[in-house]
């Protein structure tokens, strides 16, 4: 109270002046402390953002243990006595920060989303190689039915060809290799039920199943109901995927190959004479094979095919007569150059052109026109005219060649221009647009023609 009584006579302006001086004196201590313990800061333009716990720690570390008294304004114009926090009453800040961080980490773990386990591979067929899941299912089913890998190799049709060694190695891998068996089982579980049913329907037949099917005699005519009753009476023996239709089909195969017990295979004749296909064909009677009833649709179709075949034969005959070209055999053995009707031969590298008339045309055959000798059969003939020239035999036995095309050709290296002609001798070389031919003359036939011309029997 004495302090209050001594403060009351002072004016308000004096109180404010004293308060400002005390505040300025009190703020001098922290500024000097900050100068002694200056915080390290980065000079980078972009700084990392601070987390909440770092902000609290930095704000708490700004003060020191030596605190100066700071006056506190209690009422209007009145200040209380300066209060100083002693150093021994300071709280241990590192322990508080550690506790705060521990609680914050627990809260984060509580609200953190649980990690999802890594999804397994979408398909378990990885690293299976050539073996597909259907192949593994066929192998397992067939081994369970027969117990013989050789029978599985002969009777099961896989997606691709596997040798007996590959089938054996795959079976032992499924039995003893954990990684392979795990992948194979995962792939089998992913198969569609229809796929599994179709694979199991093709399972091999066991000996017990074939013995039950053999109880039906080959002379009888069993129906589908017969096999249904057999399947119902022996459900424990037959495979679960067996149906009456499958049993009937397998019984028919056994009957076809004479595998039923009441069937016997006819022995071969003991004599040396074995019936051949020709002998058996002669024993057949066509009258017994051909039915007496007429099929008009079949007869019309046969007549149409006959007309088409005859038309094609006529076209081939016309082409042979027009082109008069013989191609050498692939073996390189060429037939004789001349026959009784060949006057001369124009031999190329691939084709031989036979001259069987006194006058023939040569050039390039197109859709708009044809020539007797088509030089395009020998090689590229795009520089050859459609009607390049004419080969002609005179009554005196001389061969003349005339150029009717745009480009010249050469006879023994001598050019024959367009509109001119030249004489051809035996073994002369004819070059037309880069294609070379050898002109060969049938001397015997030409001598006969000259003899007839001398007698006046041959036309001029």
User: Residue 226: what are its φ and ψ, rounded to 5°?
Assistant: -60, -45
Per-residue pLDDT at 78: 43
Per-residue pLDDT at 271: 59
Which residue in this structure is represented by tokens 């690293």? 127
Q: How far apart are CA 167 and CA 186, in angstroms?
A: 20
CATH of 321-455, one of 2.70.98.40, 2.60.200.20, 3.40.50.11060, 3.40.50.2300: 2.60.200.20
Phi-psi region of 424 (alpha: psi -120 to 50; beta: other; left: phi over 0): beta
Q: How far apart are CA 198 and CA 152, in angstroms?
A: 17
| Helix-helix angle 133-146:193-201, to 10 degrees | 40
Q: What is the pLDDT of residues 152-189, one digit of tens each?
A: 999 999 988 999 999 999 999 999 999 999 999 999 99
Give every CB contact of residue 212 below 8 A, 6+ residues apart in sequence.
Answer: 230, 234, 237, 238
Give every CB contact of residue 275 below 8 A, 6+ residues apart in sequence.
Answer: 269
Domain ranges of the chain: 2-35+50-108, 133-201, 207-256, 321-455
Q: What does the block give as tokens for 124?
A: 């378990």
Q: What is the pLDDT of residues 397-433, one digit of tens each?
A: 889 999 998 889 999 889 999 889 999 988 899 999 8
Report the residue count for the chain.
Answer: 460
Give every CB contact of residue 359 below 8 A, 6+ residues apart in sequence.
Answer: 390, 391, 392, 393
Per-residue pLDDT at 51: 61
Taking the model in full, what pTM does it have? Answer: 0.35
Q: How far apart are CA 165 and CA 171, in angstroms?
A: 10
Per-residue pLDDT at 44: 59
Q: How far apart are CA 245 and CA 224, in angstroms?
A: 7
Of residues 163, 185, 188, the one with CA closest to residue 174:
185
Task: Give the three-class secondary structure for 50.
Answer: coil
Which residue in this structure is represented by tokens 């009190």? 26
138 touches 158 (CB < 8 A):
yes
Task: Give the three-class secondary structure for 432.
Answer: strand
Per-residue pLDDT at 81: 43
Tens-of-pLDDT digits for all 460 residues of the chain? 444 344 444 444 454 555 455 545 544 444 444 445 566 665 656 656 666 665 555 554 554 444 444 444 444 444 444 444 444 444 456 677 778 878 777 777 766 666 666 655 444 444 457 899 999 999 999 999 998 999 999 999 998 899 999 999 999 999 999 999 999 999 999 999 999 999 999 999 999 999 999 888 888 888 899 999 999 999 899 998 999 999 999 999 888 888 888 887 666 656 566 667 777 777 776 666 666 677 888 888 999 999 999 988 888 777 765 555 554 444 454 555 677 788 899 888 888 888 888 899 999 888 888 888 888 888 888 888 889 999 998 888 889 999 998 889 999 889 999 889 999 988 899 999 889 999 998 888 888 888 887 776 544 4
Task: Give the three-class secondary structure for 348.
Answer: coil
pLDDT, the chain, mean: 76
Q: What is the pLDDT of residues 244-296, one digit of tens each?
A: 999 999 999 888 888 888 887 666 656 566 667 777 777 776 666 666 677 88
Per-residue pLDDT at 456: 67
Phi-psi region of 185 (alpha: psi -120 to 50; beta: other; left: phi over 0): alpha
C-beta neighbour count of 133 within 10 angstroms:
24
Q: How far apart are CA 11 and CA 5, in angstroms?
A: 13
CA torsion sign for 203, 207, 211, 214 is positive
Burial of 378 (0-12, 13-18, 19+ CB in 10 A): buried
């Amino acid at each position: 109270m004495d302090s209050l009584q001594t403060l009351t006579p002072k004016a308000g302006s004096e109180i404010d002046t004293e308060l400002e001086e005390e505040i300025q004196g009190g703020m001098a201590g922290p500024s000097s402390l900050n100068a002694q313990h200056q915080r390290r800061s980065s000079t980078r333009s972009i700084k990392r953002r601070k987390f909440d716990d770092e902000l609290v720690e930095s704000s708490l570390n700004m003060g020191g243990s030596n605190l100066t008294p700071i006056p506190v304004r209690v009422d209007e114009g009145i200040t209380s006595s300066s209060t100083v926090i002693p150093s021994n009453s300071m709280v241990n800040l590192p322990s508080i920060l550690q506790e705060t961080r521990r609680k914050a980490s627990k809260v984060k773990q509580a609200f953190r989303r649980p990690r999802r386990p890594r999804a397994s591979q979408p398909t378990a067929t990885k690293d299976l190689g050539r073996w597909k899941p259907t192949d593994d299912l066929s192998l397992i089913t067939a081994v369970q039915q027969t117990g013989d890998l050789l029978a599985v190799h002969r009777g099961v049709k896989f997606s691709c060809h596997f040798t007996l060694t590959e089938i054996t190695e795959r079976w032992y891998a499924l039995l003893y290799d954990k990684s392979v068996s795990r992948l194979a089982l995962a792939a089998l579980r992913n198969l569609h039920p229809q796929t599994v049913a179709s694979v199991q329907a093709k399972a091999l037949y066991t000996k017990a199943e074939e013995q039950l099917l053999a109880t039906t005699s080959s002379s009888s005519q069993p129906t589908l109901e017969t096999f249904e009753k057999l399947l119902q009476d022996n459900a424990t023996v037959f495979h679960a995927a067996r149906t009456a239709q499958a049993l009937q089909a397998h019984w028919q195969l056994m009957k076809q190959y004479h595998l039923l017990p009441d069937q016997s295979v006819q022995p071969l004749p003991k004599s040396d004479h074995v019936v051949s296909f020709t002998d058996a064909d002669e024993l057949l009677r066509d009258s017994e094979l051909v039915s007496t009833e007429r099929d008009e649709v079949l007869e019309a179709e046969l007549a149409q095919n006959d007309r088409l075949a005859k038309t094609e034969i006529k076209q081939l005959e016309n082409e042979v007569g027009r082109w008069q070209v013989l191609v050498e055999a692939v073996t390189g053995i060429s037939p004789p150059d001349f026959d009784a009707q060949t006057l001369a031969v124009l031999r190329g590298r691939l084709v031989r052109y036979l001259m069987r008339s006194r006058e023939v045309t040569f050039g390039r055959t197109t859709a708009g026109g044809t020539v007797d000798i088509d030089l395009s059969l020998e090689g590229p003939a795009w520089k050859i005219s459609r009607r390049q020239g004419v080969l002609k035999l005179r009554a005196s036995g001389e061969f003349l060649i005339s150029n009717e095309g745009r480009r010249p050709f050469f006879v023994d290296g001598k050019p024959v221009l367009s509109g001119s002609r030249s004489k051809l001798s035996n073994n002369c070389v004819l070059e037309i647009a880069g294609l070379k031919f050898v002109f060969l003359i049938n001397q015997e036939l030409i001598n006969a023609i000259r003899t007839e011309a001398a007698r006046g029997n041959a036309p001029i």
